[in-house]
Amino acid sequence: MLQRISVGLCAFSLFLAPLPVDARGWGLPNSGDVTNGVFVRAAVVALDLPILSKGDALPYARVPQNLIPYIRTAYERGALDVFGKDFAVSSSVTRGQAIQVLVELTNLSGAGDGKTSFRDVRAGSAIARAVRVAVEQGWLVPLRSTQFGIDRPITASEAERMLKKARGRAGQVRKDFPEETRQVIRITIPKSKGTAVVPKNDILQSVWQIINDEFLYQDKVKQEEAAYGAIEGMVQSLGDPYTTFLRPVKAQNFRSQIKGEVTGIGAQVEDRSGVLTIVTPLTGSPAEHAGLLPGDEILSADGVSLTGIGFLEAVERVRGPKGTSVRLRIRRGGSEFDVSVQRDVVSVPEIDVRMQDGVGIVKLMQFGHGADTKLRSELEALAAKKPRGIVLDLRNNPGGLEHAAGVVVSNFVPKNTPFSIIKSSGSTEEHRTEAEPTIDPAMPLIVLVNGGSASASEIVAGALQDFARATIVGEKTFGKGTVQALLQFADQSSLKITIAQWLTPKGRVIDRVGIVPDVTVPYSTERDEQMLKAMELLRR
């Protein structure tokens, strides 16, 4: 499934039609049961996983030499844990074992709490979650309404059907938010596109063959590195800053960010006159442990200057994989010093709702899972306190899920109100709110924005401005008005690719333009003039 993202992030789903496959080429028998070894090999081949020809010795006895690369590939991905220490290659694989292997190889996860209606499946267990995936994906048909048949050997025809269905998703992103119920759009790829070949493919193949045959330093030939490098070069040639290839680790970091978790130093930051500045370190974060303070200016990361390169790129330079360290050049009170911070997984607080002088202050840090699922209940509780107005603070919010943007807008406008228009090369879609407002439409609303407000933030500000529902206060927004799709491949790498642009409900273009506030208030280092202006407007 393809996750639509805006600004860094956004969300709806697509399916790509799989190419025809020959299941017999996967090594499955024509009929009868399927053995453990044969099924694992077929699954690895069907999903086009990179084969690990070399590696540590396997902890299993009596594995035929011709199966070792496939067994090792599955083992390294944790797909053989279901067999424990006794992986009997020639034993018949059961339906339960087969779906657990396939769930791990495809990196799919079952939604919900693990409850089950099947008597032969223990609630809350790993097999219960795998059964849920198998049912959702249509891999296998339960034997009866109360029995799935996890202990029955899988037949060759069942295995073939399972792998064909799983292969159809092997190059597609999985559904990161199983609670979502957005419409699925199915797209059939025309033959002219589906059969496209890489330009200069003959030269590319020849160069790679020559390298493997003639290059003196064969120990320096890294197949995976060469493949990733070639893909990255192809993507970079497009010249689009939002279309990028993400290697597995970076792809996982990106998916975690959408869920409200990032690997980094754990500090809220903002752009102050082109300098990345810490607003506050998060409690218990690596930044706090390293002694970083509000107001600290981050001048460089690992020797690379962050000044003037743009807010989003500066943030990416500071972030990185868990366990790695980044050396930051800090300016504090006129003096400069270096500090090393070890990155870790940090939970990002998305929503901060409070009352101040009778006004509801709603701060959104990003449009991720929290904003998508929790904001409405937070605003319902806020409305019960009967504030005289609301300030929606979207400053330095880089965006997120487009669906979450619609959820935010839905709190302030009537149900079925347009909040964005998505234009691709072949279609135009109008997206509308799906729920009744939680806030009285007559309640005054101020939206705070600045140059760090991007994408989903601009969707919200633009929609509320189009319908004169809110007064926009602050500085012109970032101007990120394109939509990206995120495709996840079987090796956990991903392609983030621009597929459309979005407009405000009245058709205003935002990309490279931004949202111009109704009331312009420059940022001040002395005090929060923008918030003060918002409070002043609500007192009128």
Buried b (16+ CB within 10 A) or exposed e, 359-389: bbbbbbbbbbbbbbeebbebbeebbeeebeb
Three-state SS at 54: coil
Report field, pTM of the whole predicted structure over 0.85 = no
Considering the four listed CATH numbers 3.40.190.10, 3.40.50.300, 3.90.226.10, 2.40.50.100, the one that applies to the domain covering 351-539 is 3.90.226.10
DSSP per position, 220-237: G--HHHHHHHHHHHHHHT
Q: Of 154, 149, 184, which Cα lies nearest the Cα of 91?
A: 154
Whole-angstrom CA distances from 390 to 82, 87, 120, 411, 432 are: 53, 61, 53, 12, 22
From first to last of its 540 residues, what are the pLDDT tens digits of the chain? 344 444 333 322 222 222 233 444 578 887 788 899 999 999 998 888 888 877 778 888 888 888 888 998 998 888 998 888 788 888 899 999 999 999 888 877 654 445 667 888 888 788 888 888 888 888 888 888 788 899 999 998 889 888 888 876 433 333 322 222 222 222 233 344 445 677 888 888 898 889 988 899 988 888 888 989 999 999 999 988 888 898 887 777 676 666 656 678 988 787 777 889 887 787 788 998 999 998 899 999 999 999 877 776 788 889 888 889 999 999 998 899 999 999 988 776 789 999 999 999 999 988 877 777 889 999 999 999 999 999 999 998 888 777 889 999 999 999 999 999 999 877 898 999 999 999 999 999 999 999 889 889 999 999 999 999 999 999 999 898 988 877 878 788 888 888 889 899 999 999 989 999 999 999 876 789 999 999 999 987
CA pair distance 256, 363, nearest whole angstrom: 21
In this predicted structure, what is the pLDDT of residue 476? Answer: 94
The CA-atom distances, in angstroms, between 366 and each of 11, 15, 199, 431, 511 are 14, 27, 39, 20, 19
Contacts of 283 (CB under 8 A, 6+ apart): none
Q: Rounded CA gap, 308 and 297, in Å?
A: 13
Which helix (H) or strand (E) element contains residue 73?
helix 68-76
Structural domain boundaries of the chain?
Answer: 25-167, 201-243, 261-347, 351-539
Q: Strands 297-301, 325-332: parallel, antiparallel or unpaired by DSSP?
A: antiparallel
C-alpha triplet 375, 380, 386: angle, nearest 5°: 130
Q: Which residues are catalytic?
A: 455, 466, 480
DSSP state of 435: S
- Choose among 533, 180, 531: nearest CA to 362: 531
Which residues share a beta bridge with 422?
429, 502
Give backbone dihedrals phi and psi of 135, rounded to 5 degrees, phi first: -70, -45
Which CATH number is 261-347's, of 2.30.42.10, 3.30.1370.100, 3.40.800.20, 3.40.366.30?
Answer: 2.30.42.10
Which tokens sit at 456?
């989903």
Residue 198 has phi, psi (to 5 degrees) of -65, 130
What's the rounded Cα separation, in Å, for the pair 441 and 434? 16
Task: At 35, give phi and psi (nearest 5°).
Answer: -80, 165
The H or E element spanning position 449 is strand 445-449
Question: With helix as H, strand as E and coil as C, how does 151-167 read?
Answer: CCECEHHHHHHHHHHHH
